Amino acid sequence: MHKKGYLSQYFVAVAAKRLSTVEVNIKKSNQHEFNGSEALKKVLGTNEVGETITFRSRFVWMGDDNETTTSDAQLSWYDARFGKERAAEWRLYFPTTDVSQRAQAGDLLIIAKRPDNTLLCIITPAQTTVESQLLWLFEVPVQAGKSFVYQDFQQSGDKEIDFPVRFILEELGIEIEDTETDFLDSILLRLKGKMPTTKEFSILTRQSLKDIAPLEDPDTALMSWMNHEEKLFRRMERLELEKRLKQGFFDKDGNVDVEGFLKFSLSIQNTRKSRAGLALENHTEEIFRLYQIKFDRAKITENKAKPDFLFPGAREYHLASFKSENLTMLGVKTTCKDRWRQVLSEAKRINNKHLLTLEPGISENQTNEMMAHGLQLILPASIHTTYNAAQRAWLMNLKEFISYLKSRQINLKDFSGELFS
């Protein structure tokens, strides 16, 4: 049974393994098959009569360079010894696709069964952020070996669909269903049909979510606000989309306006991404304000660069007599990918920079590179579990960063001789 609002709503079970040379190199083998291990049997099932079972499947190849390749195909699950007086030998046949042609030996393969009996087959290179995120999401062993390993979501591993889980599922092309629609609609009624600014929407989010204690637990507060605003915005987006689709897409001559529909679809995607980033900045700003941290937001440093936050502020940054070691900057990005490097050039006076993100399971290769460039990664405490032990020893949470800022602010006088409050 799947639980609404949890991972089991979207997946029944998964099998994972590392691809071998014979499975990916069509020059060495025309086999195009996986042996039917016990893990695969648990995911795909078997029948006594040995009939071939076919699965509608979507193949997805994902890399850290934001490149994704998808293909639709049918997989055949059959008993190679059917009709013979020997024990069954199940095999999974897969056709050549654009995705399978990208696969390399050592890549991670995850075969995930959906509740509608279709399969999602994901391939990603080893030691990438995508791999790290998938291993965490599906709770399969980090060193998935040559044989398939099995995981279901009935007894364990059934994660609630919070921000990190939603992020990974959407990267896989899975649209998350609305939950708590009546509650969300009751909140959106306060807008009276008007489209709010991102700042107004973030304020509405905080006002409509009760029992949040940012001064006790800023990490939980930030994640609660972000989860709530994400749900609210998606509900508002869906209602607006339904309204627009009912109107239809036609040009002035009454013909179907395909170009108009594509532009509308693209604008929704871009708006969703930009609003998420601004929401994170808005809620982070509110927490700094509650903690009486002195800061400036989005002020120019050099060459039109605008760090998301400067501490204690832009005035101090541009005063040559203010020591650079007393300056702090914070970049804020819901997801990092390769964009974390942008932060490095946003405040030249500050050697060691900080970056707040909500992205789960960034690869160890990437975090090592961040360390080498003097960039400290900050994540809400609940997301730290998506990283390995070595990474967690280095990561900061939001409460720790606030303590760091407060300690620097204490007894630091501004240039009018007053103590920062």
The topology under which CATH files domain 296-418 is Restriction Endonuclease (3.40.91)
CB atoms within 10 A of CB 386: 21
Q: Which pairs from 410-414 meet CB under 8 Å and 24+ separation?
A: 412/312, 412/326, 414/312, 414/316
Confidence band (pLDDT; 50, 70, 90) for 341? very high
Question: Percent of the chain scored above 90 by pLDDT?
Answer: 56
Asked if 353 and 369 touch (Cβ cutoff 8 Å), the reply is no
Instruction: For residue range 223-276, list pLDDT tens digits in order.
Output: 999 999 999 998 888 888 788 788 888 877 788 888 877 887 777 777 777 788
Residue 415 has pLDDT above 70, yes or no: no
State mean pLDDT over 135-141.
Answer: 89
Confirm whether 7-172 and 296-418 share one CATH topology.
no
Instruction: For residue range 370-399, list pLDDT tens digits in order.
Output: 999 999 999 999 999 999 999 999 999 999
Asked if 328 and 322 touch (Cβ cutoff 8 Å), the reply is no
Domain boundaries, the chain: 7-172, 180-280, 296-418
Q: Position of tokens 């952020």?
A: 129
Residue 19 has pLDDT above 50, yes or no: yes
The predicted structure's pLDDT at residue 419: 45
The topology under which CATH files domain 7-172 is At1g16640 B3 domain (2.40.330)
Asked if 118 and 57 touch (Cβ cutoff 8 Å), the reply is yes
